[in-house]
Structure 1
């Protein structure tokens, strides 16, 4: 027996003697997450809100998760390319999306026949809840939304309206005109390939009114006159903007609207189910980074949102938006 023990290499003998405990550190390391860099996948080109949010958050997420955080852009196809690429990745937690999940995921399903479902995705946190803002250039002789409605009722072609096609803003514009009995087919609607061009056209007076996400107007806020915010709560960014709920109550109709871009951190539902421990680690790190005072100060200076809503509220808002997109699928397809 002693001869057998002598024949065993010293390291193996120690492992046997300790019941394999010396292997435990290796096992623990294999189970430790994360062990390598985390990638933030942005399904949009560089320079947009999601790209800026991802790059601004990366150093703070790195601080709280203990691994480098890099950003990858995968634009194209109204986010279909990025979404599809993400669904092809392993469910290991090493890639997280920074996405305008609402409305782009449901929009890609409704208008581009994407081969995934809205509930295939899980929202960790959507800090940016952009809302449609009806606005005009300060140079325009439109002093209120009531002025605009009165003009359009007299003559639907009296004012031009700028909007992005296949967007939440288009749905809100259509619902608003319908509520006031204004024939949308007679209105001079000018479409732009993106919210940025629509805002530029609005602020420059190229269209009389723009229906566009309000957050994007903030850098040029001094060049526009807010006419109506599609919300039921006051905004600190536009404290004097009338709210849709108040306007609808005064005009005698039931307010209906769709949230604009709901931006933030997204993973796959199957990852949450397959890797609950890793999901919780990501969740805690993203929450800690979002609430980090240095992060809040940095993102606020860049006019980026830092509100922590959490998964429950974020998923509820996202799925509500997705259901409304499906409800108005015909309108979106027509656009």
Structure 2
């Protein structure tokens, strides 16, 4: 009997200690969130410096700094389609001081391409918020004398139609493969080491088509050297209302965007994530940021953490399914 009482006492003490530990942990998290941030925040951009992605990340960091009252530093950790920097952040301390500049390639596409990916786009991160997105455009050189996607599809039945991408497994490549699937067009993929040489060869006549965002092709659209046949957007772009979407032409679920957002390591306190989300949403109203993103053809989109997580989940599933159907690899 005494032994039973002693055992019951030990269980009670353990239960009390567990409750106390949980309470202390919760209090600690609340205190951390209340004082957050107390030091500089780092945004890891998993791509080289100097590109449009890096430029936007730095401007977002600048506007976030105004909201949070601490410096926001951008650190580039490039490699393997954005997976090097993403892995680094997934393994970082979950305190809100290390964030990832997430993108289509690192969170949407990578899980379908890399068999041993060290992170999950859904479970390895807390999703702070979407920053913006830009539809992928289907672009041909004007001298091809083709004005519609339907005409290009018909032309491809008896003529060579090759399209260039930034490399195997890139968003440009996958969009081209998806286009082949929904349209029945006879398209040949030509991988390049980046989007710029692909665009140069399209303009020079070595290939017929490329798939890019408006930022890259705008100068050639304005001079009349290239034209957009369709967009990968869910709806027509306000900047190009005359250009149809692939979705409306073929009546399917075709949507292809280049997007960016902010995520933190899994386990970052919810109150910290909420504070970061509020700061981001306020930063997205900054006139300088809005002007730059509009100039780059990006739609600024505000989301809650839950909405952004849902967005990432759907995007990952979409691209992983396409990669599996088309048997796309990095080789």
Distance in 1 separating the partners of 2:113 and 2:295: 36
Pair 1:286-2:280 in alignment: yes
Aligned to 2:328: 332
Distance in 2 separating the partners of 1:105 and 1:40: 16
Aligned to 1:32: 35
Give 1:89-238 correspondences, 5 Å limit: 89-100=92-103, 102-112=104-114, 113-119=116-122, 120-153=124-157, 155=158, 157-164=159-166, 165-182=168-185, 187-222=187-222, 223-238=225-240
Distance in 2 separating the partners of 1:264 and 1:193: 25
Structure 1: runs of 5+ lacking an equivalent: 1-26, 250-254
How far the C-alpha of 1:322 sits from its partner, in A, is 0.4
Root-mean-square deviation (Å): 2.7
Deviations 1:136-180 (A, max 9, x none): 122332222222111112x2x522222342134333322332334
DSSP-derived class of the 2:267 partner: helix
How far the C-alpha of 1:215 sits from its partner, in A, is 4.4
Alpha-carbon spacing, 1:126–1:70, altered in 2? closer, same or farther (3 Å): same
Check the 8 A contact 2:165/2:172 in 1, yes or no: yes
Q: Which has the larger radius of gyration?
A: 1
How far the C-alpha of 1:305 sits from its partner, in A, is 4.6
How far the C-alpha of 1:224 sits from its partner, in A, is 1.8
**What TM-score, normalized to structure 1?**
0.78
Alpha-carbon spacing, 1:195–1:260, altered in 2? closer, same or farther (3 Å): farther
Distance in 1 separating the partners of 2:98 and 2:81: 20
Check the 8 A contact 2:45/2:85 in 1, yes or no: yes
Aligned residue pairs, count: 295
How far the C-alpha of 1:197 sits from its partner, in A, is 3.2
How far the C-alpha of 1:36 sits from its partner, in A, is 0.9
Check the 8 A contact 1:39/1:94 in 2, yes or no: yes
**What TM-score, normalized to structure 2?**
0.79
Give 1:258-277 correspondences, 5 Å limit: 258-271=255-268, 275-277=269-271
Give 1:37-56 correspondences, 5 Å limit: 37-56=40-59
